Structure 1
Amino acid sequence: MKKVLITGGAGFIGTHLSQNLIEHGYGVIVLDNLSPQIHGSDYTFPEQEGIRFIKGDVRNKADWEEALQDANIVVHYAAETGTGQSMYEVHRYAEHNISGTALLLDALVNTQHKVEKVIIASSRAIYGEGKYTCDEHQVQYPSSRKEQDLSLGNFEPRCPECDEPLRVLPTDEDSKLHPSSVYGITKLSQEQLVLNVCQSIGIPALAFRYQNVYGPGQSLKNPYTGILSIFSTLIRSGGKRINIFEDGQETRDFVYVGDVVKATMLGIESQTVSQDVYNVGSGVATTVQEVAEQLRTLYGADTEIEITGNYRIGDIRHNVASLEKISAGLGFRPEVSFTEGIRKFAAWVEQQEVQGGSYEESIRQMKQKGLMK
């Protein structure tokens, strides 16, 4: 029985992956620091047959040494993940995401181990604005939008050559990598570190560039990640309006957690692909306004939806993944539509205790530091 170490395995995706691995006959080792921002202050990891839990920190060399002792495969999820928060907690994000990954690789290079494959959770954030096209100048990879344009309500990226609005294209793995947030920079560093070092020591490694993952089990406490969780908490708290940034027409590629686990399992079990990167998404763009309206309907609420025109520094406008490469290389095709997935998510949320949201405090922090206008 092969054993899979999942760092951050007590988190959203890691929990789903753990259950799938056990069902397929794997042993699981979970290394997690049980961050209060994600789990709350009173969370304890439940004992489960087939899972060995280590409360530890990826910034601690000794914790890595303990976790790696019996591991055959490493799935590295442990990371700080809030795009907005990363812009004012720069050292924290670099320390967890980059230094933590460096300690893993130090251990793989310098100690005896049984690891035969590494999978790193990368992110769509490494693309920045991703891929667009101009009628006259063809494919473009626009830089971060200018604050002057955003302040005037001109939210669409514009062609750097003719200044005309651009049309979004599915972003493929060969697209330009130019992250627009500290979080995106750290994820790109993680990906490059893992692929480079693992290749040098002959360990197969894959980077999965996850899009916006959602589904049952998503943290309802963390105000920095997941608009489905944020909007759900606001709606179920009663009397709190949903404030949508920009004009509500910004889009994201929302991919159901079950499809993410499916793609990851294909990577774990593949004997033919290594040292490669794959987008993992739905391949469908959904507007933020549509998310809010669907959730309001599913909860049967009359919550006010306000299009504020506010914007955050470092946010991208559009995002949709090209899935051609992962389809050809791993045979992955998403199975759960957004309509079906959001219905499953909302049904799960309704079974949870309403959380005291800290979303307003996160907004106050960003405004105070000049990162939200």
Structure 2
Amino acid sequence: MGKVLITGGAGFIGSNIALKLVAQGYSVVVLDSLSEQIHGSEPKYTSPLYISIRDKVEFIKGDVNKREDWMKALDGIDYVIHLAAETGTGQSMYEIEKYVGTNIGGTALLLDILANNPHNVKRVVVAESRAIYGEGKYVCPKCGEVYPSERKDEDMSKGDFECKCPKCGGEVHLSGTTEDSFIQPSSVYGITKQVEGQLVHLVCKSIGVESVSFRYQNVYGPGQSLSNPYTGILSIFSTRIKNGNGLNIFEDGKETRDFVYIEDVVDATILGMEVPGADGHVFNVGTGVATDVLTVAQTLCDKYGIQVPITVSGNYRLGDIRHNFADITLARQILGFEPKWSFADGIEQFVKWVNVQEVQEDNYEASIEEMKNKGLYK
């Protein structure tokens, strides 16, 4: 079967991949720093994800910014699934050195070692992100296929949140974003994920190692952090609802995301590691379905049976995208990937899981205050 290294393997996506690979007979090594923001102050007590894997894998507590940790982790490895990264588009806009250092620096260190030392690595799989697309692909009735640039503060301050045609300024219609779409990240996080993917494909090809990268959409499901205010809106909204706090919906609530269930992400990633024809490719991983934020908020309130005030405030964050959903044709064709979970079914499972967790402290307001102080929240 082979030996697999998963960096960030105690995280949400990584731990789920680790458990499935172990169940399939792979030998798994996990390299993870057990960041307090994700795992709490005492991971052996506070991190269910870490607890779920620690006795099933060879676990190395280490940092992707340290050569000696990489050298130890890479010993005898056949496949690398590189997920370790600082995540959070908003936070990345003011913790720039941290995001660039870990995401780009850590990836560069991996590749430097592979290029200059003996190893057994056959393939590197790296997580990019849908954030690299920025606003993604649209169609303008006059100009055809277009890629709107970042929305302007002056428009959004007047309640005009929709994207405009970058050529004629007219109305545009959302289209599924394909892997060959124009790349224009609107956050430091997005830039780092773009560079990670480019580095892996460029260097791996030059040294005879296969490479695959994934642009995950909004991943959710049982096990994701309910206490980290920089994670996805499903967790943020759930924690606020459970605390009886109202939901402040940004913009007009019609902004959309492609929510993909964790099991589908795990399946796609493992296919990317195993399928011979995947080498050299970039794949979108999503459902291909756009769901608006107001629908998400109301669905969660209904599922929890807790009706908190939902306020569509018109607030907005600079750098946020308006819409995005993935075109997953390429993953279907090459990997044989087909998402099994609809949003309705996935939310059902997520809510069931949240309902048996301890209610977490709601740190969301503090994260918003942090963004206000940096001039990123309006």
* TM-score bin (small chain): over 0.9
Cα distance in 1 for partners of 2:376, 2:76 equals 44
Cα distance in 1 for partners of 2:184, 2:169 equals 20
> What are the Cα deviations for residues 67-116 of structure 1, in whole angstroms up to 9, with x where unaligned?
00121100000001100000010000000100010000011001111111
Bigger mean CA deviation after superposition, 353-362 or 40-49: 40-49
| 1:9 and 2:9 aligned | yes
* Structure-2 residue corresponding to 1:35: 35
* Structure-2 residue corresponding to 1:308: 313
* Structure-2 residue corresponding to 1:68: 74
Q: Report 1:1-373 matches (<5 A).
A: 1-44=1-44, 45-46=50-51, 48-238=54-244, 240-373=245-378
> What are the Cα deviations for residues 206-241 of structure 1, in whole angstroms up to 9, with x where unaligned?
001100000000111211121000000000012x10
Question: What one-letter code is carried by the residue in structure 1 that aligns with 2:320?
Answer: D
- CA RMSD, 1 decimal: 0.9
Cα distance in 1 for partners of 2:195, 2:106 equals 11
Question: What one-letter code is carried by the residue in structure 2 that aligns with 1:274?
Answer: D
Question: What one-letter code is carried by the residue in structure 1 that aligns with 2:158?
Answer: L
Cα distance in 2 for partners of 1:357, 1:40 equals 14
Question: What one-letter code is carried by the residue in structure 2 that aligns with 1:237?
Answer: N
**Residues 281 and 334, structure 1, Cα contact 8 Å, conserved in 2:** yes
> What are the Cα deviations for residues 148-179 of structure 1, in whole angstroms up to 9, with x where unaligned?
00100100001122222211000001100010
CA drift of 1:134 comes to 0.7
Cα distance in 2 for partners of 1:221, 1:105 equals 33
Question: What one-letter code is carried by the residue in structure 2 that aligns with 1:350?
Answer: N
**Residues 311 and 372, structure 1, Cα contact 8 Å, conserved in 2:** yes
> What secondary structure does 1:272 align onto?
helix
**Residues 83 and 225, structure 1, Cα contact 8 Å, conserved in 2:** no
CA drift of 1:273 comes to 2.4
CA drift of 1:24 comes to 0.8
CA drift of 1:301 comes to 0.4
Question: What one-letter code is carried by the residue in structure 2 that aligns with 1:33?
Answer: S
> What are the Cα deviations for residues 324-370 of structure 1, in whole angstroms up to 9, with x where unaligned?
11111111110100000011001001111111121111000000110
Cα distance in 2 for partners of 1:48, 1:122 equals 26
Question: What one-letter code is carried by the residue in structure 2 that aligns with 1:282?
Answer: T
> What secondary structure does 1:74 align onto?
strand
> What are the Cα deviations for residues 241-271 of structure 1, in whole angstroms up to 9, with x where unaligned?
0001000000000000000011111111112
Question: What one-letter code is carried by the residue in structure 1 that aligns with 2:312?
Answer: I
Cα distance in 1 for partners of 2:32, 2:327 equals 32
> What secondary structure does 2:103 align onto?
helix
Unaligned runs of 5+ in 2: 45-49
Cα distance in 2 for partners of 1:274, 1:329 equals 10
Question: What one-letter code is carried by the residue in structure 2 that aligns with 1:76?
Answer: H
Cα distance in 1 for partners of 2:42, 2:247 equals 28
> What are the Cα deviations for residues 173-198 of structure 1, in whole angstroms up to 9, with x where unaligned?
11000100000000000000000000
> What are the Cα deviations for residues 53-74 of structure 1, in whole angstroms up to 9, with x where unaligned?
0000001110000000121100
Identity over aligned pairs, percent: 57
* TM-score (norm: length of structure 2): 0.97
Cα distance in 2 for partners of 1:306, 1:98 equals 38
Cα distance in 1 for partners of 2:55, 2:243 equals 36
CA drift of 1:275 comes to 1.1
> What secondary structure does 2:278 align onto?
coil
**Residues 8 and 79, structure 1, Cα contact 8 Å, conserved in 2:** yes
**Residues 173 and 279, structure 1, Cα contact 8 Å, conserved in 2:** yes
> What secondary structure does 2:321 align onto?
coil
Cα distance in 2 for partners of 1:221, 1:150 equals 29
CA drift of 1:49 comes to 4.7
* TM-score (norm: length of structure 1): 0.98
* Structure-1 residue corresponding to 2:47: none
> What are the Cα deviations for residues 123-166 of structure 1, in whole angstroms up to 9, with x where unaligned?
00000000001111111101100110010010000112222221
Cα distance in 1 for partners of 2:274, 2:191 equals 29
Cα distance in 2 for partners of 1:196, 1:259 equals 27
**Residues 27 and 50, structure 1, Cα contact 8 Å, conserved in 2:** no
**Residues 39 and 221, structure 1, Cα contact 8 Å, conserved in 2:** no
